[in-house]
Structure 1
Amino acid sequence: MSENLNYKHLHYFWVVATEGSIAKAAEKLFITPQTISGQLSMLEERIGQPLFDRVGRRLRLTETGRLVLRYSDEIFELGKELSDVLRGAPLVGTSEFIISAASALPKTIVYKIIEPALKLSKEVSLICKEGPVESILAELAIHEVDMVLTDTPLSSNLSVRAYNHYLGQSGLTFFASRKVKEQLSGEFPQCLHQAPILLPTKQYAVRQLFDKWSNDNGIFPIIRGQYDDSALMKSFGHAGFGVFFMPTIIEEEVCDSFKVEVVGRLNDVKQKFYAISAERKVTHPAVAAVCNSARDIIFK
């Protein structure tokens, strides 16, 4: 691969990718489709990998194509900003920071972890997404997000080139509505035996740790619900469907927001938190701000 890219070829690729077809790009650029096809072939030859898969008459971006498109978006957005500034427009603009968080992570903790990135001197435009662990790691693999937040570290079994950045950990607090709490018998944690409980689904590390603790201690609650989304689980807990747990570091917020009471605290099981990024050594300023604040303040 040559060190220097031809930016005219890159621009043709960018227009094709954003317009969705060579024909539409040709109309927009006022050149023939044959010219664009030739320029794309030259760009692919220089890169050494295909940028599109041809599916019938449609073009679908390859993994390399998606990566090139993301950089192209930034390159040509900066070009537009430069043109505006040279015409006398004020220098304003934002830098996108795209985070995908595991759905089971409490939203309060996700907010606390992300907030420092928004206080950087350079303005940051946050795009925050969420989903199941495997789905959000797939987004990281194709460079659609800058960082993934999860309680499950990246496993070597997954073919994703990324790195775990440990943020910290917290014990668990168990909550219930007043009605459910009054129906529990015995001291904590024995009162959880045969009690109705709401749990995260088994894809999350904290659920696996809780199941092991439960088996080791002979405490077997009755599972009334399993949830991918922590907010939904808390809502069902508030409605009186069962006991649920959250990290102890947000105990007060959970009690205040969902009008539930503390059943007990469990320090034998810790929920760990990780930021996963494509960088082994963090250089992205927003990712660095997130990691440093989480370690020094939130989980200190």
Structure 2
Amino acid sequence: MELRQLRYFLEVARQEHVTRAAKDLHITQSTLSHQLRQLEEELGTPLFDRVGRQIQLTQAGRMFVGFASRALRDLEDGRLALQSLSGLQRGELRVGVITTYTNSLLPQAILDFTNKYPGIRLQIEDLPATQIAQRVLEGSLDLGLAFTMSETPGLKTEPLFSERLILLVSKDHPLADHKSVHGRNLSTLKIALQSKQYASRQLIDRHLRRYFEDGVCMELDSIETMQLMVAKSDLACILFEGAVLPLPNLRAIPISTPEVVRTAALVWSRERFHLAAAKEFAVEIKKSVAQRRQPAMT
């Protein structure tokens, strides 16, 4: 049995389609089919029921998914453990970050880390919180930067700071001089928000949407673009404090009623090996938090 056969099997099991799996694996369909047949022959049982191009896992296949996944995870952890023997001289670090913190917390942390450890190749992905959690669990990310979430088996979160929802307007906006705003103040505003795929937007909708049912005139993935537009127009946007950029034409006003708070956090796997590089990058993130004068939690 070869490692590639396990990887091929898991990809086909995930997609339930040989042609698409072969394309994503960058091999021919015939090669993939041959490798799967060899694996089934070695195991002595069919792993898939084939119906045309569509295939489904058999009972044996469903059972084998767990064993194959664990085997590959254990081997990957072994590789990472051996990689750590070289200290921080070389290697790769994969980090997933929610959009909220990509611009506000990461730039200085990345610069400081890469200056200290130039041999570590840093791969940063901007992802929704749910994807970060899933990929940390799977092992395709070494570390996540998101926020505390409901208890998830296999994950642990390390709190960094708490942050409130903030209304952002330009310095010339009628609400610019307010010390705080009530939800009812939002009813007459033209509001830009993040897209609905993001957990931040889902929290906003859950707690505040009743105040501005018809006021959302724009949805954006880019928090930076949103804030630049607000600074130059009569638009308003709602973000958590950690995402606010230091733009001179912006005014940040706490939303006092209802007050919505969440806690930024590092996301770790409870079961997988933690790279020394991941631990060091976490240190740089905490330094970046401290420099932003957020109240770091212990």
Fold shared by both chains (TM-score > 0.5): yes
Q: Among residues 89, 94, 99, which one is paired with 2:95 in the alignment?
A: 99
TM-score (normalizing by structure 2): 0.59
Cα separation, 1, equivalents of 2:117 and 2:270: 22
Matches within 5 A, 1:1-300: 9-10=1-2, 13=5, 20=27, 24=31, 62=65, 65=68, 68=71, 94-112=90-108, 117-118=113-114, 121=117, 123-151=119-147, 153-156=148-151, 160-171=153-164, 173-178=166-171, 181-184=172-175, 187-190=178-181, 192=186, 194-200=188-194, 203-205=198-200, 208=203, 212=207, 222-238=215-231, 240=233, 242-248=235-241, 253-255=245-247, 260-265=249-254, 269-279=260-270, 283-295=274-286, 298=289, 299=294, 300=296
TM-score (normalizing by structure 1): 0.59
Judged with a 3 Å threshold, the aligned counterparts in structure 2 of structure 1 residues 204 and 113 are, in CA distance, closer, same or farther, namely: farther
What SS is found at the alignment partner of 1:182? coil
Q: CA deviation at 1:236?
A: 3.9
Asked if the contact 1:132–1:228 (Cα under 8 Å) also holds between the matched residues in 2, the reply is no
Cα separation, 2, equivalents of 1:278 and 1:244: 34
Amino acid at match of 1:264: I
Q: Deviations for 1:194-223, whole angstroms, at most 9, x for unmatched residues?
A: 2223234565257636964798xx899933
Unpaired runs of 5+ residues, structure 1, are 1-8, 27-32, 82-91
Cα separation, 2, equivalents of 1:77 and 1:283: 8
Q: CA deviation at 1:239?
A: 5.1
Moved more, 124-133 or 92-101: 92-101
Amino acid at match of 2:250: E
Q: Deviations for 1:65-88, whole angstroms, at most 9, x for unmatched residues?
A: 466557767989999x9xxxxxxx
Q: CA deviation at 1:145?
A: 1.4
Asked if the contact 2:168–2:253 (Cα under 8 Å) also holds between the matched residues in 1, the reply is yes
For this pair of structures, how many residues does the alignment match?
Answer: 258
Judged with a 3 Å threshold, the aligned counterparts in structure 2 of structure 1 residues 271 and 112 are, in CA distance, closer, same or farther, namely: farther
Cα separation, 1, equivalents of 2:176 and 2:115: 47
Cα separation, 2, equivalents of 1:14 and 1:129: 26
**Aligned match of 1:84:** none
Judged with a 3 Å threshold, the aligned counterparts in structure 2 of structure 1 residues 119 and 286 are, in CA distance, closer, same or farther, namely: farther
Unpaired runs of 5+ residues, structure 2, are 10-24
